[in-house]
Structure 1
């Protein structure tokens, strides 16, 4: 049986170690991906350092990959990407806890539903940044009632709080593609970049009167805002802004980080942690729609920007610990990617 290299977490709170793993056998509805690039997310350093959401050791962390389909299971659908196809995929052990499904290794197993064909117009490095951002932000927007099946009127808007993050930049692009007027918050140095992704207005989250600025802008633009996506930042302030923008109507804020317990929710305002459906059938349908339908079509049409700014970490798997430490220290409008 063949083997491959992996960045392996042997126990929580220890550095990842480069190990040689058996290349696994596929299930009937799975694909084996030869990984060419893997993007890192903040949850990765929490898993390494604290063991969060890790069910068994040794573990392989990570979620976002791009590469080439090496093998296909015996019972994949006819429209599933064939061996030799360039793909981006959500390669995570999140759902089953098994190391064979973690991203940070040269060969990884994924479900046939959780991949998108990656056109030649995107490099492998660019392609690796899409999966988690797409799945997470869509789960948030759909919970908040924002969907391509119900296009907005010209006077409907949404806001994205923390728009310079990976989830935030993608949430901006999704909302713009659906036709919403997008308000966003980010550091002043990133405003033009976020506008380039589709935001109509970008506000500095450090401004003491950001609530007043956003409310006044909504009045000037004649829009109503009943949904928001918080990728990162002050949850209570975002809730207060949504309450003001909604004008007393019901509104929802989808929150990507863990929802704080001491939040004050005005009447009519809901806030919830972004999560995938618990029902297995609904989850499978959601995943297939995000990857095989929406993301694949948008990539083919060249409608998406690989965002935020990508920083390639030199050294491959051996550099992952250094990259996770840098991510833990805080990055701004930057996505760290390792090439394998």
Structure 2
């Protein structure tokens, strides 16, 4: 039986341990991947440190992969023939960190619907920072009822608020919203403003400015924008509510929140806030991932309409460097995605 190495969680609040495990075979709709690069997300250290979403130990964590198809199941389209370079979203959280499906290993099983081929112009490191950002962005749009085929013209004056635009998710939200035809108003640290504008934001505001809410409201009114949609990528719920309430007009505004909502958290009249999550209904979720990864991301990469963002910082050590990387991420990074080369 073939084997490979994996960085395994052996217990709550324990460092991941690199161990050998058996290499599984893909099912009919699955791919076996050789992991070349993986990216780290805040949920990963929460799984390691607090046992979040872990059903049992040992477990394998991680979601973001750049890699190569080794073997394809019998029902997988020829798009994913062996040797294909891909970006892939490991379904770790949907399978409660079952070892075969976690990204933190040399070889991993993923559903084919969770992958997209990457152009030769995209490196494995760049591929690895795309999946979680794309899935979280589109989960947000679905959660607040934003149609996939919406396409505003510039004259429509439809604004959207993106709070935390230099984060991994926020930077993809900006790009996606721009492609949907929104005029994007975003927040980020002052040093990242030009970068966020390069991704498609029309105006960028410093979230540290004590008058930022007033500045956004006045600018939007001056530009004649209706702002009925918002995406909170980092956890600034009250500010987002205040701004949307002031700019929504007579209609209901819709706010997607990437951080979980608290039962006693703030609310605002006329603003509907929902926690970002993909459908929990299996058939609908499968269709969502097929569109997000097999179709939307593939097309946008081929047309060069989105770019991997934010900037990449490589953490040395491969699988043995994951604990160090998770500790760096836990301490806080800015406009940076941590990546390990396997």
TM range (shorter): over 0.9
Contact 1:11–1:57 at 8 Å: present in 2 too?
yes
Across the aligned residues of Structure 1 and Structure 2, the Cα RMSD in angstroms comes to 1.1
Q: Does the C-alpha gap of structure 1 residues 251 and 79 become closer, same or farther in structure 2, counting only changes over 3 Å? A: farther
1:177 aligned to 168, 176, 179, which one? 179
> Within 5 Å, which residues of 2 pair with 1:123-138?
123-138=123-138
Counterpart position of 1:190: 192
- Could you tell me how far 1:150 is from its partner in structure 2? 2.0
Given that 2:177 and 2:184 are in contact with CA atoms closer than 8 Å, whether structure 1 keeps it comes out as yes
What pairs up with 1:200-219 in 2 under 5 angstroms? 200-219=202-221
Question: What is the match of residue 266 of structure 1?
Answer: 268
Contact 1:63–1:103 under 8 Å retained in 2: yes
Structure 2 Cα separation of the partners of residues 79 and 246 of structure 1: 46
Find the counterpart in structure 2 of residue 18 from structure 1: 18
Structure 1 unaligned spans of 5+ = none
Q: Which of 228, 240, 243 is matched with 2:242 structurally?
A: 240
Any conservation in 2 of the 1:159–1:184 contact (CA below 8 Å)? yes
Q: Which residue of 1 aligns with 2:91?
A: 92
Q: Is the 8 A contact 1:93 1:100 kept in 2?
A: no
Aligned mates of 2:148, 2:224 — CA distance in 1: 22
1:68 matched to which residue of 2?
68
Deviates more, 1:255-264 or 1:104-113: 255-264
Aligned position for 1:46 = 46
Match of 1:296 in 2: 298
Question: How many angstroms apart in 2 are the aligned matches of 1:270 and 1:159?
Answer: 14
Which secondary structure state, in structure 2, belongs to the residue aligned with residue 228 of structure 1? strand
8 Å Cα contact 1:64/1:92 also seen in 2: no
How much has 1:221 moved relative to structure 2?
Answer: 1.3
Partner Cα separation in structure 2 for residue 227 and residue 143 of structure 1: 12
1: CA distance, partners of 2:297 / 2:70: 21
1:225 aligns with 2:227: yes
Q: CA deviation at 1:234?
A: 1.8
Query: Does the CA contact (< 8 Å) of 2:35 and 2:66 recur in 1?
Result: yes
Distance 1:27 1:225 in 2: 45
**In 2, Cα distance between the equivalents of 1:161 and 1:48?**
27
Residue by residue over 1:16-71, the C-alpha shift from the partner in whole angstroms, topping out at 9 and shown as x without a partner, is: 01101110121111100100000000000000000001111101110000110000
**Are the counterparts in 2 of residues 37 and 65 from structure 1 also a CA contact under 8 Å?**
yes
d(CA) in 2 for partners of 1:74, 1:23: 18
- Which residues in structure 2 correspond to 1:134-145 (within 5 Å)? 134-145=134-145
**Other-structure match for 1:82:** 81
Q: Which residue of 2 aligns with 1:59?
A: 59
| 1:275-314 equivalences in 2 (<5 Å) | 275-314=277-316
Aligned residues, how many? 339
Q: Secondary structure at the match of 2:31?
A: strand
The match for 2:31 is 31
| Residue 105 (structure 1) aligned with residue 105 (structure 2) | yes
8 Å CA contact 1:61, 1:92 repeated in 2: no
- Structure 2-normalised TM-score? 0.97
- Distance, in Å, in 2 between the alignment partners of 1:18 and 1:40 is 17
Render the CA deviation track for 1:242-294: whole Å, top value 9, x for unaligned: 11121342001100011122233222211111011121111111010001110
In the alignment, is the contact (CA less than 8 A) between 2:143 and 2:275 conserved in 1?
Answer: no
- CA offsets per residue over residues 89-137 of structure 1, 9 Å max, x none? 0013211231100001000000011100011010000010010110111
Q: Secondary structure at the match of 2:49?
A: helix
Offset at residue 183 of structure 1 (A): 0.5
